[in-house]
């Protein structure tokens, strides 16, 4: 019925609705992140996070390819396409996935054990699968909106990099290239996705589906950390002998 129709938010209202998701649900507030950034993780806990986060990292270009496959607009596809090469690399040995593999080796994992996903937890696998499913089945502007999580904490990567340098100095600096690259990429990507969301989610239905998709993405990131926290724990101070023997 027409009387039950939802109004179209103006740009500022829509943006406020999107930002409100981050205020209440973004994973920068998760206890595991708090422990990581305060230097309270052991080497084993840090390795658990790195190995499980890789499962998410390697699915980012798959998610972005799904968005491209659903988008009929060449100008949008040209704009979004770089995200795949950002992670896959333009050539062998390049890109974000390769950088995360180097991080894995830097914290003491082998490349093989990360690639074969022997450490990936069921909850992490389920959460990532749900995100990829969203990208494949939602309309492309809604799927784009789900990627806006980086908008909520522009300084999260800088805090993470500082924490590694300050508290986990046993991790070689060469392993932190992924974090350094994302200092600028994350800001660019989030602003790019925000422009597309505000432009193409142009009906009340699309606007509300975009907010719901972004909320689901936050739930997925939070659920990943819940699984990691349950499996590995957090909050123990890593002593020197633990670091060296882990």
Per residue in 40-87, pLDDT (tens digit) is 999 999 999 999 999 999 999 999 999 999 999 999 999 999 999 999
Separation CA 52–CA 123 (nearest Å) = 10
pLDDT recorded at residue 221? 96
* 141-198 pLDDT tens trace: 999 999 999 888 778 889 999 999 999 999 999 999 999 999 899 889 999 999 999 9
pLDDT at position 4: 54
Give pLDDT, residue 32: 97
Closest C-alpha to 147, from 72, 91, 98, 213? 213
pLDDT at 27 over 90: yes
Who wins on pLDDT, 119 or 245?
119
Mean pLDDT confidence for 3-31? 90
Residue 121 gets which letter from DSSP?
-
Q: What is the C-alpha separation between 178 and 157, in angstroms, rounded?
A: 10
The token pair at 109 is 């994992």
Cα–Cα distance between 112 and 105 in angstroms, integer? 10
Closest residue by Cα to residue 84 from 124, 49, 106, 57:
57
DSSP-derived secondary structure for 139-184: -HHHHHHTTGGGGT-TTHHHHHHHHHHHH-TTS-GGGGHHHHHHHH
What pLDDT score was predicted for residue 155? Answer: 82
Torsion over CA of 175, 181, 182 and 184, rounded to 10 degrees? 150
Residue 3's pLDDT is what? 45
Furthest-apart CA atoms within the chain: distance in Å: 68
> Averaged over 210-218, what is the pLDDT?
97
The more confidently predicted of residues 146 and 238 is: 146
Could you tell me the domains of the chain?
30-245 (1.20.910.10)
Backbone dihedral angles phi then psi of residue 104, each to the nearest 5 degrees: -60, -45
CA distance 117 to 13: 42
Range among 21-30, 132-141, 144-153 with highest mean pLDDT value: 132-141
Which residues, at least 6 apart from 137, have a Cβ–Cβ distance to it below 8 Å? none
Separation between Cα atoms, residue 121 and residue 98, nearest integer Å: 21
What pLDDT, on the 0 to 100 scale, is given for residue 152? Answer: 85
């Amino acid at each position: 019925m027409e009387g039950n129709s939802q109004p179209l938010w103006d740009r500022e209202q829509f943006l406020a609705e999107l930002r409100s998701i981050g205020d209440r649900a973004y994973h920068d507030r998760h206890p595991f992140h708090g422990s990581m950034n305060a230097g309270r993780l052991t080497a084993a806990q840090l390795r658990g996070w790195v190995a499980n986060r890789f499962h998410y990292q390697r699915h980012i270009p798959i998610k972005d390819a799904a968005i491209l496959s659903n988008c009929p607009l060449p100008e949008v596809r040209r704009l979004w396409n770089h995200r795949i090469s950002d992670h896959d690399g333009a050539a062998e040995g390049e890109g974000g996935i390769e950088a995360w593999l180097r991080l894995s080796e830097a914290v003491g994992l082998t490349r093989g054990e990360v690639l074969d996903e022997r450490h990936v937890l069921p909850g992490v696998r389920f959460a990532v699968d749900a995100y990829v499913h969203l990208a494949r089945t939602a309309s492309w502007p809604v799927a784009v909106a789900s990627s806006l999580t980086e908008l909520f904490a522009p300084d999260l990567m800088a805090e993470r990099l500082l924490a590694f340098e300050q508290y986990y100095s046993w991790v070689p600096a060469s392993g932190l290239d992924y974090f350094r690259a994302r200092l600028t990429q994350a800001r660019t990507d989030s602003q790019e996705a925000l422009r597309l969301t505000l432009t193409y989610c142009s009906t009340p239905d699309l606007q509300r589906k975009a907010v719901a998709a972004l909320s689901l993405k936050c739930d997925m990131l939070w659920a990943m950390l819940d699984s990691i926290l349950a499996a590995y724990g957090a909050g123990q101070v890593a002593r020197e002998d633990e670091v060296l023997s882990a």
